[in-house]
Chain A
Amino acid sequence: MSTSAVSLYLDPQIRDWVLFPITLVMILVGILRHYVVILLQSTPKKLSREAVREQRALTRSQILQATAANSPIPPTYYKAISKHLSAAYEAGTYLKDGPPKKGDAPPAAPNPLSDPAAMDGMMAGMKTQMVMMVPQMVIMGWINFFFQGFVLIKLPFPLTLGFKSMLQRGIETPDMDVRWVSSLSWYFLNFFGLNGLYRLILGGENSADSSRDMTASPFAAAGAPQQGQPQDYNKVFKAERDNLEFSEGLYNWVGKDVEERILRKYGKIST
C-alpha cells in the first residue's frame, strides 16, 4: 500500500465542472421533485355520509369498551348502548349500502385491482415512484456517459480496503488509495446523503429524498389494510360483537361503590 505516497494531482477544473455540477444538479432535482410530487398529489376523495358512518361505526364500540372496566355510565345505560350496538352490527345497519337482504349471496372479497377507489391510491404511489425513478436514471446515465472513470475528490481521512467498492465504483484499479472517490460513487453518496440538506431547505415533511422510496414498493402496501383499502365491514362488525360481549363481562360502574370510597377517603368509616 505504498501507492498512497505517490499523490495524484487533480485538475481544479474537475472540481469546478464535474464535482460541483453533479452535487448541484442532484440538489436541484430533489427540490424539483418535491414540488412535482406536491403538484401530483390528488386531493383525497370526498366520502359520502354513509361511507363516513360506516368507517366510524367501529369507534363507537371501541369507545364504549375503552372505559368498560371503570365505566362512567350506570349499568342500565351501558347495557342499552351495548345491546343496541350489538344488534346494529348484527343487522348491518351501519353498512354503506344498507343492511344486506336475505337470500343475497355474500359479497365476494373485494379485489383491489378492480376497485377504482383502491386503484387511485396505487396510481398515486406509482406516480411518485416515476417522479423519483426517471430523473435519477437520467442523472446516472449523464454521469456514466460524460464522467465515466473520473476521480473527483480525495477524502481527508484514511479508509480500509473494504470501502473500495463503495468509493471507487466504475474505476477498475486495484492499487489506488481508497481515499479517492469516483464520479459514480460520488453520485451514490449524494443520492443517500442529501436528505439532511433537503430537510434544512424544505422542512421535515418533504418528498425530495428519493432513497426513501427505494425501499417502498407501490405494491407492498396492498397486503396490509390501509386507508382507502376496501374492507369487508360486514365481517369486521360481526367480529366486533364478540368484543362487545367480552367487555360487558368486564363492565363495572365507577359509581357502584363510590359512597364507600368517599367515606373512607374522608375517614368516616374505617377501612
Chain B
Amino acid sequence: MADVASALQKLATYRTQNNRASQETFDRGVIVLKSDVAKTIGEEGWAFLEQLALAAIDVGRTDVADQCLQLLSDKFHGSPRVDCLEGILLEATQTPEAALKYYQDLLNEDSANAAIWKRQISVYRRMGKVEKAVEELSQFLDTFYTDVEGWLELADIYSTCNQYTSALQSLSHVLLLTPQNPFYVLQAAETAYTAGDIPLSIRMFLMAVDMTDADDSVALADSTPTGITVRAWYGVKLCARRLLKDTRLSNSSASQTPAPKNINLIDELATERLRVAYSSPGKKGEIAQGRDELFAWAALI
C-alpha cells in the first residue's frame, strides 16, 4: 500500500509540473492501476488515468491505455476530453486516415472543439500534408487567437519550409500573447538572424539579455551569465560581429529596424560577458569546457 501511495504522490508532482517522463509515469502508474485504487481515490483518480493512458501510448503499451480509457469512458461518457484521448490512441494504433476520419466526425458535430481541431492539424502535419496543415492552423488561430502553442507550431512549420519572415510574423503574435517569456524572445531573435534581419535580431537578443539578467546594476558587472542569458550573449556577439564587418547590413533590415548605435561597445561587452561566463570556476573549481575555443573565437575579428 505504501508503494501505491508513494507512486501516486510522484505522479501528482509530474502532473503539476507538466513533466512528460513517460516511462517513469508508466512504471509507477501500472502499480497503481493493478492495485485498483484509481476508482476509490475520487477526483484525482481520473486525472491519474488520463496521465497513465497518455504515458502508455507514449511507451507503446496500448493495452494499458485501452484499460484506462475503458474506465474513463465508463465514467465520462461522451466527454470531449475522453474523445480526444481516444483519438490519440487511434493515431497510435491505426492509420492516420482512420484518425483523421474520427476527428472529422467529431468536428462535424461540434466545429468549435479546439482540442480535436489541434489533433487533426497535427495529424495533417505528420502525414506530410504541410499545406493543408498550415491552412487549417491559420484558420484555427483566426478563431482561437490566444493559443500560444498553435502560433509556435505555425512558426515551426514555416521555419522548416525556410519561410523565416512568415515564421517571424507568427512569433510576433507569440510575443504579444506572452511578453514575459524570454525563451520566445530568444527564438524570435534567432529566427530574425536566420532570416538575415541582423539589426532586428541584435535588438531582440539584447531584449532577451535585458529580461534574463539581474535588475541590480551594481552587482551586474560581477555576476556570471547563466542559462539562456549566455545564449543571448552569443547571439549579440554574432550579430555585432557581422554588423561591424559589413556595414551595409545595418541598412538592409527587412523590418526597417535601425542598427544600434555604439556597436563597438556592444561587441566589447558581449565578448567580456562571454569570457566571464566561461571563466568562472565550476563545481570543483575546474575551468569550463570549451573555454579555449571560445576565447579564440571571441578574439577573431
Contacts and interface: CB of A to CB of B under 8 A. Distances in A.
A254 interface: yes
Nearest to B203: A255
A127 interface: no
B257 A74 contact: yes
B195 interface: no
A42 interface: no
Contacts of A265: 210, 213, 217, 220
A60 B207 contact: no
Interface stretch (B125-133, B137-145, B287-295): B137-145
Contact of B210 (A47, A53, A75, A258): A258
A67 interface: yes
Contacts of A261: 210
Nearest to A52: B112
B265 interface: yes
Interface in A31-72: 46-49, 51-53, 56-57, 59-60, 63-64, 67, 70-72
A245 B196 CA distance: 31
Contact of B144 (A47, A52, A63, A75): A52
Size category, A interface: 35 or more
A219 interface: no
Given A259-B203, A262-B206, A72 B185 contact: yes
Interface in B242-277: 255-257, 260-262, 265-266, 268-269, 273
Prevailing SS type, chain A contact patch: helix
Contacts of A51: 112
A53 B206 contact: no
B27 interface: no
Prevailing SS type, chain B contact patch: helix
Interface string B137-178: 000001111100000000000000000000011001101110
Interface in B178-219: 179, 185, 200, 202-204, 206-207, 209-210, 213, 217
Contacts of B63: none
Contacts of A157: none
Nearest to A76: B255
A266 interface: yes
Contacts of A59: 145-146
Given A59-B145, A63-B146, A266-B269, A259 B172 contact: no
Interface of B: 110-112, 142-146, 168-169, 172-173, 175-177, 179, 185, 200, 202-204, 206-207, 209-210, 213, 217, 220-221, 255-257, 260-262, 265-266, 268-269, 273
